[in-house]
Amino acid sequence: MKLLKFAAIDIGSNAMRLLITNVIENDGEVIFKKASLTRGPLRLGMEAFENGEIGSENKDKLVHMMKAYKHLMIVNDVVGYRACATSAMRDAQNGPDIVKLIKDASNIEIEIIDGKEEARIIYDSHIADMLEPNKNYLYVDVGGGSTELTLLVNGKLEKSRSFNIGTLRLLNKSVDKKEWDQMHTWLDNITEKYGKIEIIGSGGNINKIYKLAGTKIGQPLSRVKLMAIAKQLSELSVEERIIKFGLNPDRADVIVPASEVFLMVSRWIDAKNIYVPVIGVADGITRSLYADYKKGKAIKNVLNK
């Protein structure tokens, strides 16, 4: 048996995560098992979407977080890592400057990726292996700054689209109606061409809603149940959601707009259920890192200068 460890850093608009995954090679079988997940509640999106840049306070916190992630990767003997930043860093004018600052301070190289690369990474999570081969699926990942839609046809990535509709943008009331119209049109086009499509939900909010709904593992979350949970949450204040449901403060406010996005998409494609496999960008990163490692490709290591 051989054990390898790979790390994925996902710098989102509402939070950032370090996923360390154990990859176990045993008699020709390869097993991916989460070793640890460290989440930092750093809201880069609030400033990026409102002011067009990330301020000095959050910039300093980001540097401290990256240094902490570096130390965690070192003590875990991580073979390689990849750090990806999404919507907030894309929108921030000083995003490239922050990338350089973090490289100088921690030796961690951050890539600011677009929606298409996010979709490719998600596909690398081997989500197709979990799906029924004769069905079409729409992978819906709702983040703080954007919603990524990825169409899977017969287990293959057919097309993807990123929309600037995210939970923080919705809280700030900064989502243009044209963005919703464009999403609606895109969904109408794919349902007209591909017929019935099932939804796969991704992101911390739908994962939490799935747990709140008490859905049995492996069973889909019904749209009716999602509507009931969304209504229950929306009738409470943020403080009441924290107390009643034990939500983290940075989850308690964004969970309602996230549910609204999932409900809207499910209505537009007439999907009665949402499958929630609890995987995302970070899972895809670690799997693609392992694949590159086996092919002999160069991968980043925090100890490399």
Mean pLDDT of 13-21: 93
Confidence of residue 22 (pLDDT cuts 50, 70, 90): very high
Beta pairing, strands 147-153 & 136-142: antiparallel
Nearest Cα to Cα of residue 169 among 140, 142, 201: 142
Are 2-115+282-294 and 126-279 in the same CATH fold? yes
Looking at the predicted structure, is the pLDDT value of residue 192 above 90? yes
Question: What single-letter DSSP state applies at residue 138?
Answer: E
Where do we find the tokens 């994925």? 8
User: Encoding tokens for residue 171?
Assistant: 């809280």
Fold of 126-279: Nucleotidyltransferase; domain 5 (3.30.420)
Residue 114 C-beta-side C-alpha neighbours within 13 Å = 3
Domain boundaries, the chain: 2-115+282-294, 126-279
Instruction: Give the pTM.
Output: 0.86
User: Encoding tokens for residue 261?
Assistant: 């996005």
> What is the gyration radius of the CA atoms in the chain, in angstroms?
19
CATH number belonging to the domain at 2-115+282-294, selected among 1.10.357.10, 1.10.290.10, 3.40.50.1980, 3.30.420.40? 3.30.420.40
Q: Please name the amino acid found at residue 46.
A: M
Looking at the predicted structure, is the pLDDT value of residue 64 above 90? yes
* Higher-scoring residue by pLDDT: 276, 280: 276
User: Encoding tokens for residue 29?
Assistant: 């079988």
Q: What is the mean pLDDT of the chain?
A: 91
Question: 228 and 263 in contact (C-beta within 8 Å)?
Answer: no
Mean pLDDT of 233-257: 95
- Consecutive H or E run containing 274: strand 273-275
Confidence of residue 127 (pLDDT cuts 50, 70, 90): low
